[in-house]
Amino acid sequence: MSNALALTIRVAVIAVSLWVATLIVPGIGVTAGTTSNRWVTLVLVAIIFGVVNAVLKPLIKVVGCPFYVLTLGLIGLVVNALLFLLVGAAAQALGLPFVVAGFGAAFVGAIVVAVVGFVLHLVIPDRLDQR
């Protein structure tokens, strides 16, 4: 599978996960008018989400390693929520109609996105295992 196809699948999975979060979690939403505008917004937010997770999350894990060990990894839930809040703020700063209404919504939304993404990646693999 080519890298472009794998990247496209990852972005699509994140976009669908974000869409599910907007349906389930109060305080997370896309305020675009038409359905096509909503999906374009979700895809753009998925790209922002991927960049934030690819750049900041590893740095935070390295710097915060003692906190991960001390809390047995539970600080990861807080980190994910804060990164989700950052994605919402970045989307709004770029003029995208994506709203995350606070830490509580970000906390639950990050869990929903992670669970839905996990399930979708089980069904739709984004890479072939080299076993």
The confidence band for 125, taking pLDDT boundaries of 50, 70 and 90, is confident
Is the model more confident about 124 or about 115? Answer: 115
Kindly state whether residue 64 falls inside one of the protein's structural domains.
Answer: yes
Kindly state whether residue 12 falls inside one of the protein's structural domains.
Answer: yes
Domain count, the chain: 1
Q: State the residue range of the domain holding 14.
A: 3-123
Strands (E), 33-131: 98-100
The confidence band for 131, taking pLDDT boundaries of 50, 70 and 90, is very low
Strands (E), the chain: 28-30, 98-100
pLDDT at 11: 93
Kindly state whether residue 128 falls inside one of the protein's structural domains.
Answer: no
| Confidence (pTM) | 0.89
CA angle 21-54-1, nearest 5°? 90
Task: Report the pLDDT averaged over residues 79-104.
Answer: 95
Kindly state whether residue 130 falls inside one of the protein's structural domains.
Answer: no
Kindly state whether residue 106 falls inside one of the protein's structural domains.
Answer: yes
